[in-house]
Amino acid sequence: MSLLISRILHAGYLFESGATRIAFDPVFENPFSRNCHAFPAVRFDVHAIAGLRLDAIFISHLHDDHCSLDSLALLDRATPLYMYCLFDELFAMLGQLGFTQVHRLALNVAVTIGAIEVTAREALDADVDAMFQVRAAGMQVLNVVDAWIADDVVAELAADGPWDMVLWPFQPMRELAVIAPSRAAPHLPGLPDDWIDQLRALAPRFVVPSSCQFVQEDWSWYNHAMFPMSYREFAHAVTAALPAIAIVRMNPGVALRLDAAGITAAPPLAWVQPIGPQEIDFDFRPAAPVPSTASIARRFAALDGAQTAQVLAFCTEGLLATYRAMELPQDSYFQQRRHWCLRLYDQQGAMRQFDYLIEGDTIALLAADANAPAVGWLTEVALSKVYAALALGESLTSLYLRVNDAVFDAAAEHDLKDADIVDDPLIRCLFNDSVGAYQAAQLRRLLHPSA
Protein backbone atom coordinates (compact mmCIF):
# COMPACT_ATOMS: atom_id res chain seq x y z
CA MET A 1 0.00 0.00 0.00
CA SER A 2 1.19 3.53 -0.75
CA LEU A 3 0.03 7.14 -0.58
CA LEU A 4 0.72 9.43 -3.53
CA ILE A 5 1.39 13.05 -2.52
CA SER A 6 1.84 15.82 -5.11
CA ARG A 7 2.66 19.46 -4.48
CA ILE A 8 0.47 22.01 -6.24
CA LEU A 9 1.75 25.37 -4.94
CA HIS A 10 2.36 27.06 -1.60
CA ALA A 11 0.18 25.04 0.81
CA GLY A 12 -1.63 23.16 -1.95
CA TYR A 13 -1.33 19.36 -2.22
CA LEU A 14 -3.05 16.50 -4.00
CA PHE A 15 -3.34 13.25 -2.00
CA GLU A 16 -4.24 10.01 -3.79
CA SER A 17 -4.86 6.57 -2.33
CA GLY A 18 -6.37 3.88 -4.52
CA ALA A 19 -9.10 5.60 -6.52
CA THR A 20 -9.52 8.46 -3.99
CA ARG A 21 -8.18 11.93 -4.85
CA ILE A 22 -8.32 14.86 -2.40
CA ALA A 23 -6.92 18.38 -2.82
CA PHE A 24 -5.81 20.51 0.11
CA ASP A 25 -5.80 24.34 -0.15
CA PRO A 26 -5.64 24.25 -3.96
CA VAL A 27 -4.39 27.42 -5.67
CA PHE A 28 -3.98 27.21 -9.45
CA GLU A 29 -2.87 30.81 -10.03
CA ASN A 30 0.46 32.46 -10.66
CA PRO A 31 0.57 35.08 -9.32
CA PHE A 32 -1.98 34.50 -6.56
CA SER A 33 -3.18 36.86 -3.83
CA ARG A 34 -2.46 39.71 -6.27
CA ASN A 35 1.34 39.74 -5.97
CA CYS A 36 2.51 36.32 -4.78
CA HIS A 37 4.56 34.70 -7.57
CA ALA A 38 5.30 30.98 -7.52
CA PHE A 39 8.85 30.21 -6.33
CA PRO A 40 10.18 28.39 -8.22
CA ALA A 41 8.17 29.60 -11.21
CA VAL A 42 5.44 27.52 -12.80
CA ARG A 43 2.43 27.93 -15.06
CA PHE A 44 -0.87 26.08 -14.76
CA ASP A 45 -2.78 24.31 -17.52
CA VAL A 46 -6.22 25.60 -16.53
CA HIS A 47 -7.98 23.53 -19.20
CA ALA A 48 -6.54 20.33 -17.75
CA ILE A 49 -7.38 21.50 -14.22
CA ALA A 50 -11.00 22.10 -15.26
CA GLY A 51 -11.13 18.42 -16.19
CA LEU A 52 -9.89 17.18 -12.81
CA ARG A 53 -12.24 14.93 -10.91
CA LEU A 54 -11.64 15.20 -7.20
CA ASP A 55 -13.43 13.31 -4.46
CA ALA A 56 -13.14 16.26 -2.07
CA ILE A 57 -11.43 19.58 -1.42
CA PHE A 58 -10.22 20.55 2.06
CA ILE A 59 -9.44 24.19 2.94
CA SER A 60 -7.61 25.05 6.15
CA HIS A 61 -8.70 28.67 6.53
CA LEU A 62 -10.08 31.77 4.84
CA HIS A 63 -6.86 33.57 3.84
CA ASP A 64 -6.78 34.26 0.11
CA ASP A 65 -3.59 32.22 -0.44
CA HIS A 66 -5.52 29.15 0.76
CA CYS A 67 -9.10 29.88 -0.27
CA SER A 68 -9.16 31.48 -3.72
CA LEU A 69 -12.46 31.56 -5.56
CA ASP A 70 -10.67 32.09 -8.88
CA SER A 71 -8.98 28.71 -8.39
CA LEU A 72 -12.05 26.93 -7.05
CA ALA A 73 -14.09 28.27 -9.97
CA LEU A 74 -12.07 26.01 -12.29
CA LEU A 75 -13.38 22.87 -10.58
CA ASP A 76 -16.56 20.82 -10.78
CA ARG A 77 -19.15 22.45 -8.48
CA ALA A 78 -20.43 19.03 -7.40
CA THR A 79 -17.11 18.35 -5.65
CA PRO A 80 -17.63 18.14 -1.86
CA LEU A 81 -15.84 21.03 -0.19
CA TYR A 82 -14.77 20.95 3.48
CA MET A 83 -13.53 24.13 5.14
CA TYR A 84 -12.35 25.12 8.59
CA CYS A 85 -13.73 28.60 9.14
CA LEU A 86 -15.73 30.34 11.88
CA PHE A 87 -17.39 32.83 9.55
CA ASP A 88 -20.67 32.12 7.78
CA GLU A 89 -19.82 34.64 5.05
CA LEU A 90 -17.26 32.34 3.44
CA PHE A 91 -19.65 29.40 3.28
CA ALA A 92 -22.29 31.63 1.72
CA MET A 93 -19.80 32.76 -0.94
CA LEU A 94 -18.89 29.18 -1.81
CA GLY A 95 -22.57 28.42 -2.24
CA GLN A 96 -23.03 31.48 -4.45
CA LEU A 97 -20.09 30.28 -6.54
CA GLY A 98 -22.14 27.16 -7.19
CA PHE A 99 -20.68 24.49 -4.92
CA THR A 100 -23.54 22.24 -3.86
CA GLN A 101 -21.82 20.33 -1.05
CA VAL A 102 -20.11 22.74 1.33
CA HIS A 103 -19.28 21.45 4.81
CA ARG A 104 -17.92 23.14 7.94
CA LEU A 105 -15.05 21.24 9.54
CA ALA A 106 -15.00 20.67 13.29
CA LEU A 107 -11.77 20.10 15.17
CA ASN A 108 -10.83 16.52 16.02
CA VAL A 109 -13.70 15.02 14.01
CA ALA A 110 -12.54 12.60 11.31
CA VAL A 111 -13.98 12.84 7.80
CA THR A 112 -13.60 9.75 5.63
CA ILE A 113 -13.51 10.21 1.87
CA GLY A 114 -13.07 6.86 0.17
CA ALA A 115 -9.67 5.49 1.16
CA ILE A 116 -8.52 8.69 2.92
CA GLU A 117 -9.37 9.92 6.42
CA VAL A 118 -8.87 13.62 7.23
CA THR A 119 -9.10 15.21 10.69
CA ALA A 120 -8.84 18.94 11.32
CA ARG A 121 -6.51 19.54 14.27
CA GLU A 122 -6.20 22.64 16.43
CA ALA A 123 -3.72 25.33 15.39
CA LEU A 124 -2.37 27.94 17.78
CA ASP A 125 -4.81 30.54 16.43
CA ALA A 126 -7.93 28.39 16.36
CA ASP A 127 -10.07 31.39 15.43
CA VAL A 128 -8.33 31.46 12.05
CA ASP A 129 -6.89 28.18 10.86
CA ALA A 130 -6.49 24.46 11.36
CA MET A 131 -4.05 21.69 10.50
CA PHE A 132 -4.86 18.41 8.77
CA GLN A 133 -4.12 14.90 10.02
CA VAL A 134 -4.31 12.52 7.05
CA ARG A 135 -4.49 8.72 7.28
CA ALA A 136 -4.41 6.54 4.18
CA ALA A 137 -2.74 3.33 2.94
CA GLY A 138 -1.35 2.66 6.41
CA MET A 139 0.46 6.01 6.33
CA GLN A 140 -0.05 9.05 8.57
CA VAL A 141 0.76 12.59 7.44
CA LEU A 142 0.46 15.86 9.36
CA ASN A 143 -0.17 18.85 7.09
CA VAL A 144 0.63 21.80 9.36
CA VAL A 145 -0.33 24.19 6.51
CA ASP A 146 1.13 27.52 7.72
CA ALA A 147 -0.04 27.29 11.31
CA TRP A 148 1.82 27.45 14.58
CA ILE A 149 1.21 24.70 17.13
CA ALA A 150 0.72 24.94 20.90
CA ASP A 151 2.90 22.61 22.96
CA ASP A 152 -0.11 20.75 24.43
CA VAL A 153 -1.39 20.02 20.91
CA VAL A 154 2.08 18.79 19.92
CA ALA A 155 1.89 16.37 22.84
CA GLU A 156 -1.51 15.13 21.64
CA LEU A 157 -0.22 14.72 18.09
CA ALA A 158 2.89 12.91 19.31
CA ALA A 159 0.65 10.46 21.17
CA ASP A 160 -1.16 9.83 17.87
CA GLY A 161 2.08 8.74 16.22
CA PRO A 162 3.99 7.33 14.58
CA TRP A 163 4.09 9.97 11.85
CA ASP A 164 5.39 9.09 8.43
CA MET A 165 5.57 12.63 7.07
CA VAL A 166 5.05 16.19 8.30
CA LEU A 167 4.44 19.07 5.89
CA TRP A 168 6.09 21.81 7.94
CA PRO A 169 5.77 25.59 7.34
CA PHE A 170 9.48 26.37 7.26
CA GLN A 171 9.45 30.16 6.71
CA PRO A 172 9.21 32.41 9.81
CA MET A 173 7.95 35.33 7.67
CA ARG A 174 9.00 38.82 8.77
CA GLU A 175 5.68 40.45 7.92
CA LEU A 176 5.76 43.13 10.62
CA ALA A 177 9.43 43.83 10.01
CA VAL A 178 8.75 44.95 6.45
CA ILE A 179 5.90 47.21 7.59
CA ALA A 180 8.14 49.02 10.07
CA PRO A 181 11.69 48.25 8.87
CA SER A 182 13.42 51.07 10.76
CA ARG A 183 11.93 49.80 14.03
CA ALA A 184 12.23 46.05 13.48
CA ALA A 185 14.28 43.95 15.85
CA PRO A 186 17.50 42.64 14.32
CA HIS A 187 17.14 39.30 12.62
CA LEU A 188 18.46 36.36 14.62
CA PRO A 189 19.60 33.53 12.34
CA GLY A 190 18.34 30.03 12.88
CA LEU A 191 15.06 28.28 13.47
CA PRO A 192 12.46 29.52 15.97
CA ASP A 193 13.31 28.08 19.36
CA ASP A 194 10.44 25.59 19.63
CA TRP A 195 10.60 24.05 16.15
CA ILE A 196 13.27 21.47 16.91
CA ASP A 197 11.53 20.43 20.12
CA GLN A 198 8.22 20.05 18.31
CA LEU A 199 9.72 18.05 15.45
CA ARG A 200 11.58 15.89 17.96
CA ALA A 201 8.28 15.14 19.71
CA LEU A 202 6.51 14.30 16.46
CA ALA A 203 9.49 12.24 15.21
CA PRO A 204 8.36 11.86 11.58
CA ARG A 205 10.34 9.85 9.07
CA PHE A 206 10.18 12.70 6.55
CA VAL A 207 9.70 16.47 6.75
CA VAL A 208 8.71 18.56 3.73
CA PRO A 209 9.50 22.31 3.96
CA SER A 210 6.01 23.57 3.19
CA SER A 211 4.00 26.78 2.60
CA CYS A 212 5.55 30.14 1.67
CA GLN A 213 6.40 28.87 -1.80
CA PHE A 214 6.30 32.31 -3.38
CA VAL A 215 8.04 35.65 -3.78
CA GLN A 216 6.74 39.11 -4.61
CA GLU A 217 7.26 41.11 -7.82
CA ASP A 218 10.73 41.00 -9.43
CA TRP A 219 11.52 44.52 -8.27
CA SER A 220 10.27 44.04 -4.71
CA TRP A 221 12.65 44.52 -1.80
CA TYR A 222 10.39 42.09 0.10
CA ASN A 223 12.13 39.28 -1.80
CA HIS A 224 15.23 39.90 0.31
CA ALA A 225 13.51 41.02 3.53
CA MET A 226 10.39 38.90 4.09
CA PHE A 227 11.79 35.35 4.01
CA PRO A 228 14.83 34.79 6.25
CA MET A 229 15.00 31.00 5.92
CA SER A 230 16.42 29.16 2.91
CA TYR A 231 15.65 25.56 2.05
CA ARG A 232 19.34 24.85 2.56
CA GLU A 233 19.45 26.39 6.05
CA PHE A 234 16.27 24.62 7.14
CA ALA A 235 17.55 21.23 6.02
CA HIS A 236 20.94 21.78 7.68
CA ALA A 237 19.46 22.93 11.00
CA VAL A 238 16.91 20.11 11.26
CA THR A 239 19.21 17.29 10.21
CA ALA A 240 21.98 18.57 12.50
CA ALA A 241 19.64 18.40 15.49
CA LEU A 242 17.51 15.44 14.37
CA PRO A 243 19.60 13.23 12.06
CA ALA A 244 16.94 10.50 11.92
CA ILE A 245 14.58 12.85 10.05
CA ALA A 246 14.98 13.12 6.27
CA ILE A 247 14.22 16.51 4.70
CA VAL A 248 12.46 16.26 1.35
CA ARG A 249 11.97 19.29 -0.87
CA MET A 250 8.85 19.23 -3.05
CA ASN A 251 8.65 21.90 -5.74
CA PRO A 252 5.33 22.65 -7.48
CA GLY A 253 4.19 19.68 -9.53
CA VAL A 254 6.53 17.19 -7.84
CA ALA A 255 4.93 13.89 -6.78
CA LEU A 256 6.18 11.31 -4.29
CA ARG A 257 4.92 7.87 -3.34
CA LEU A 258 5.04 7.23 0.42
CA ASP A 259 4.95 3.73 1.86
CA ALA A 260 6.42 1.69 4.69
CA ALA A 261 9.73 1.33 2.86
CA GLY A 262 10.21 5.07 2.30
CA ILE A 263 9.53 7.45 -0.56
CA THR A 264 10.00 7.11 -4.29
CA ALA A 265 9.60 9.62 -7.09
CA ALA A 266 6.34 9.50 -9.05
CA PRO A 267 5.36 11.16 -12.34
CA PRO A 268 4.88 14.92 -11.82
CA LEU A 269 1.52 16.65 -12.18
CA ALA A 270 1.16 17.34 -15.89
CA TRP A 271 -0.94 20.45 -15.30
CA VAL A 272 1.76 22.15 -13.19
CA GLN A 273 4.42 23.15 -15.70
CA PRO A 274 7.87 24.29 -14.46
CA ILE A 275 9.39 27.50 -15.83
CA GLY A 276 13.16 27.77 -15.60
CA PRO A 277 15.39 26.42 -12.81
CA GLN A 278 13.50 24.75 -9.98
CA GLU A 279 16.20 24.14 -7.35
CA ILE A 280 16.54 27.82 -6.52
CA ASP A 281 16.57 29.21 -2.99
CA PHE A 282 15.55 32.29 -1.04
CA ASP A 283 18.04 35.15 -0.86
CA PHE A 284 17.72 36.95 2.46
CA ARG A 285 19.65 40.22 2.74
CA PRO A 286 18.96 41.88 6.09
CA ALA A 287 21.18 44.85 5.27
CA ALA A 288 19.56 45.59 1.90
CA PRO A 289 18.46 49.23 1.51
CA VAL A 290 14.76 49.93 2.01
CA PRO A 291 13.17 51.90 -0.86
CA SER A 292 10.95 54.87 -0.13
CA THR A 293 7.19 54.51 -0.35
CA ALA A 294 7.22 57.16 -3.08
CA SER A 295 9.50 55.02 -5.24
CA ILE A 296 7.36 51.93 -4.61
CA ALA A 297 4.20 53.83 -5.58
CA ARG A 298 5.71 54.56 -9.00
CA ARG A 299 5.64 50.82 -9.72
CA PHE A 300 1.84 50.68 -9.79
CA ALA A 301 -0.60 51.81 -12.46
CA ALA A 302 -2.25 55.19 -12.00
CA LEU A 303 -5.84 55.30 -10.77
CA ASP A 304 -8.53 56.91 -12.86
CA GLY A 305 -10.55 59.85 -11.59
CA ALA A 306 -13.34 57.80 -10.06
CA GLN A 307 -10.93 55.46 -8.31
CA THR A 308 -8.94 58.36 -6.90
CA ALA A 309 -12.14 60.00 -5.71
CA GLN A 310 -13.12 56.79 -3.91
CA VAL A 311 -9.83 56.74 -2.00
CA LEU A 312 -10.00 60.43 -1.10
CA ALA A 313 -13.60 60.08 0.09
CA PHE A 314 -12.51 57.20 2.28
CA CYS A 315 -9.71 59.28 3.81
CA THR A 316 -11.97 62.24 4.54
CA GLU A 317 -15.20 60.46 5.46
CA GLY A 318 -15.27 56.65 5.40
CA LEU A 319 -12.15 56.11 7.48
CA LEU A 320 -13.45 58.44 10.19
CA ALA A 321 -16.83 56.70 10.34
CA THR A 322 -15.20 53.28 10.43
CA TYR A 323 -12.76 54.26 13.17
CA ARG A 324 -15.51 55.72 15.36
CA ALA A 325 -17.58 52.55 15.02
CA MET A 326 -14.75 50.27 16.18
CA GLU A 327 -13.92 49.41 19.76
CA LEU A 328 -10.41 50.52 20.63
CA PRO A 329 -8.34 48.08 22.72
CA GLN A 330 -7.70 49.27 26.26
CA ASP A 331 -3.94 49.10 25.74
CA SER A 332 -4.00 51.00 22.45
CA TYR A 333 -1.38 53.64 21.78
CA PHE A 334 -4.27 55.85 20.66
CA GLN A 335 -6.07 55.88 24.00
CA GLN A 336 -4.06 59.05 24.56
CA ARG A 337 -4.39 62.13 22.36
CA ARG A 338 -2.29 61.56 19.21
CA HIS A 339 -1.57 63.31 15.95
CA TRP A 340 -1.70 60.74 13.15
CA CYS A 341 -0.26 61.60 9.75
CA LEU A 342 -1.34 59.58 6.68
CA ARG A 343 0.64 60.07 3.47
CA LEU A 344 -0.57 58.71 0.13
CA TYR A 345 1.71 58.57 -2.92
CA ASP A 346 0.43 58.49 -6.49
CA GLN A 347 1.94 56.86 -9.57
CA GLN A 348 4.24 59.86 -10.05
CA GLY A 349 5.48 59.64 -6.48
CA ALA A 350 3.63 62.84 -5.50
CA MET A 351 2.34 62.89 -1.94
CA ARG A 352 -1.03 63.84 -0.41
CA GLN A 353 -1.09 64.24 3.34
CA PHE A 354 -3.99 63.82 5.75
CA ASP A 355 -3.63 64.76 9.40
CA TYR A 356 -5.93 63.42 12.08
CA LEU A 357 -6.35 64.02 15.79
CA ILE A 358 -7.18 60.80 17.61
CA GLU A 359 -8.10 60.27 21.24
CA GLY A 360 -9.65 56.98 22.21
CA ASP A 361 -12.58 56.25 19.91
CA THR A 362 -12.73 59.81 18.58
CA ILE A 363 -11.06 60.99 15.38
CA ALA A 364 -11.16 64.24 13.42
CA LEU A 365 -9.35 65.72 10.46
CA LEU A 366 -6.92 68.47 11.34
CA ALA A 367 -6.89 71.68 9.39
CA ALA A 368 -3.51 72.73 7.99
CA ASP A 369 -3.24 75.62 10.44
CA ALA A 370 -4.59 73.75 13.46
CA ASN A 371 -2.79 74.01 16.76
CA ALA A 372 -2.08 70.31 17.07
CA PRO A 373 0.37 68.18 19.00
CA ALA A 374 3.47 66.95 17.22
CA VAL A 375 3.06 63.98 14.93
CA GLY A 376 3.11 60.76 16.95
CA TRP A 377 2.29 58.17 14.27
CA LEU A 378 3.04 58.09 10.55
CA THR A 379 1.51 55.82 7.90
CA GLU A 380 2.72 55.85 4.28
CA VAL A 381 1.21 53.89 1.38
CA ALA A 382 0.59 54.08 -2.35
CA LEU A 383 -2.71 55.66 -3.29
CA SER A 384 -3.38 52.74 -5.66
CA LYS A 385 -2.89 50.23 -2.86
CA VAL A 386 -5.55 51.86 -0.68
CA TYR A 387 -7.90 51.53 -3.64
CA ALA A 388 -6.88 47.87 -4.03
CA ALA A 389 -7.71 47.19 -0.38
CA LEU A 390 -11.05 48.98 -0.60
CA ALA A 391 -12.26 47.67 -3.96
CA LEU A 392 -10.40 44.41 -4.46
CA GLY A 393 -9.94 43.13 -0.91
CA GLU A 394 -6.17 43.15 -1.29
CA SER A 395 -4.48 41.97 1.89
CA LEU A 396 -2.06 43.79 4.15
CA THR A 397 1.03 41.86 3.10
CA SER A 398 0.80 43.11 -0.50
CA LEU A 399 0.08 46.78 0.24
CA TYR A 400 3.70 47.82 0.87
CA LEU A 401 2.35 49.90 3.72
CA ARG A 402 4.98 51.61 5.88
CA VAL A 403 4.44 52.57 9.52
CA ASN A 404 6.46 54.97 11.65
CA ASP A 405 9.48 55.10 9.37
CA ALA A 406 10.55 58.37 10.98
CA VAL A 407 11.95 59.78 14.21
CA PHE A 408 9.40 61.56 16.40
CA ASP A 409 9.80 63.74 19.48
CA ALA A 410 11.05 62.23 22.72
CA ALA A 411 7.59 61.73 24.24
CA ALA A 412 6.25 59.87 21.22
CA GLU A 413 9.41 57.79 20.89
CA HIS A 414 9.08 56.77 24.54
CA ASP A 415 5.46 55.69 24.09
CA LEU A 416 6.11 53.92 20.78
CA LYS A 417 8.40 51.41 22.51
CA ASP A 418 5.27 49.61 23.75
CA ALA A 419 3.07 50.26 20.71
CA ASP A 420 1.78 47.50 18.43
CA ILE A 421 2.28 48.09 14.70
CA VAL A 422 -1.13 46.63 13.89
CA ASP A 423 -2.66 49.35 16.10
CA ASP A 424 -2.17 51.52 13.02
CA PRO A 425 -5.48 53.30 12.27
CA LEU A 426 -5.35 52.60 8.54
CA ILE A 427 -4.70 48.89 9.11
CA ARG A 428 -7.56 48.71 11.59
CA CYS A 429 -10.00 50.61 9.37
CA LEU A 430 -9.18 48.53 6.30
CA PHE A 431 -9.00 45.07 7.84
CA ASN A 432 -10.34 44.74 11.38
CA ASP A 433 -13.98 44.14 10.46
CA SER A 434 -13.53 42.69 6.99
CA VAL A 435 -14.26 38.98 6.54
CA GLY A 436 -13.46 37.49 3.17
CA ALA A 437 -13.04 40.85 1.45
CA TYR A 438 -10.72 39.35 -1.16
CA GLN A 439 -13.08 36.48 -1.89
CA ALA A 440 -16.05 38.85 -2.03
CA ALA A 441 -14.27 40.89 -4.71
CA GLN A 442 -13.45 37.69 -6.59
CA LEU A 443 -17.07 36.57 -6.40
CA ARG A 444 -18.37 39.87 -7.78
CA ARG A 445 -16.01 39.57 -10.72
CA LEU A 446 -16.81 35.90 -11.34
CA LEU A 447 -20.57 36.39 -11.21
CA HIS A 448 -20.57 39.65 -13.14
CA PRO A 449 -17.52 39.52 -15.46
CA SER A 450 -18.68 42.43 -17.63
CA ALA A 451 -19.38 44.79 -14.73
Model confidence over 320-370: pLDDT tens digits?
999 999 999 999 999 999 999 999 999 999 999 999 999 999 999 998 767
Task: Work out the percent of the chain whose per-residue pLDDT is above 90.
Answer: 95
- The DSSP string of 282-349 is ----TTPPPPPHHHHHTTSPPP-HHHHHHHHHIIIIIHHHHHHHSPPPTT-GGGS-EEEEEEEE-TTS
- Range 295-308 average pLDDT: 97
Q: Give the span between the Cα atoms of 107 and 253, in whole angstroms.
A: 29
- Range 200-205 average pLDDT: 98
Q: What is the pLDDT of residue 367?
A: 83
Tell me how crowded residue 343 is: count the other CB atoms within 10 A of its CB.
Answer: 17
- Express each pLDDT in 45-67 by its tens digit: 999 999 999 999 999 999 999 99
> Which helix (H) or strand (E) is 259 found in, with range?
strand 255-259
pLDDT at 451 over 80: no
Exposure string (b/e) for 202-221, b if CB count within 10 Å is 16 or more? Answer: bebbbbbbbbbbbbbbeebb
Residues 6+ apart with CB under 8 A from 218: none
The upper half-sphere exposure of residue 287, i.e. CA atoms within 13 Å in the direction of its Cβ, equals: 0
Is residue 345 a contact partner of residue 293, using CB atoms and an 8 Å limit? yes
Would you give the DSSP letter of residue 196? H
Q: What is the pLDDT of residue 400?
A: 97
As a whole number, the mean pLDDT across the chain is 96
Going from N- to C-terminal start, the domains of the chain cover: 3-274, 293-447
Q: What is the pLDDT of residue 77?
A: 98
Q: What pairs with residue 6 in β-bridges?
A: 14, 255
- Express each pLDDT in 103-133 by its tens digit: 999 999 999 999 999 999 999 999 999 999 9
Q: What is the pLDDT of residue 1?
A: 85
pLDDT category at 372 given cuts 50, 70, 90 is confident
Q: What is the pLDDT of residue 67?
A: 98
pLDDT category at 75 given cuts 50, 70, 90 is very high
Is residue 209 a contact partner of residue 231, using CB atoms and an 8 Å limit? yes
CATH 1.10.3720.10 holds for 3-274: no
Q: What is the pLDDT of residue 368?
A: 72
Q: What is the pLDDT of residue 149?
A: 97
pLDDT category at 432 given cuts 50, 70, 90 is confident
Q: Give the span between the Cα atoms of 307 and 148, in whole angstroms.
A: 38
Q: How far, rounded to the nearest angstrom, does the alpha carbon of residue 133 sit from its chain's CA centroid?
A: 21
Q: What is the pLDDT of residue 71?
A: 98
Whose CA is closest to 7, among 154, 172, 164, 212? 212
Q: How far, rounded to the nearest angstrom, does the alpha carbon of residue 398 sit from its chain's CA centroid?
A: 10
- Range 32-37 average pLDDT: 95
Tell me how crowded residue 365 is: count the other CB atoms within 10 A of its CB.
Answer: 14
- The DSSP string of 396-448 is GGGS--EE--S---HHHHHHHTT--GGG-HHHHHHHTT-SSHHHHHHHHHHH-
Q: What is the pLDDT of residue 371?
A: 79
Q: Give the span between the Cα atoms of 24 and 15, in whole angstroms.
A: 8
Domain 293-447 class, CATH top level = alpha beta
**For residues 166, 172, 173 and 177, what is the CA-based torsion angle, rounded to 10 degrees?**
170
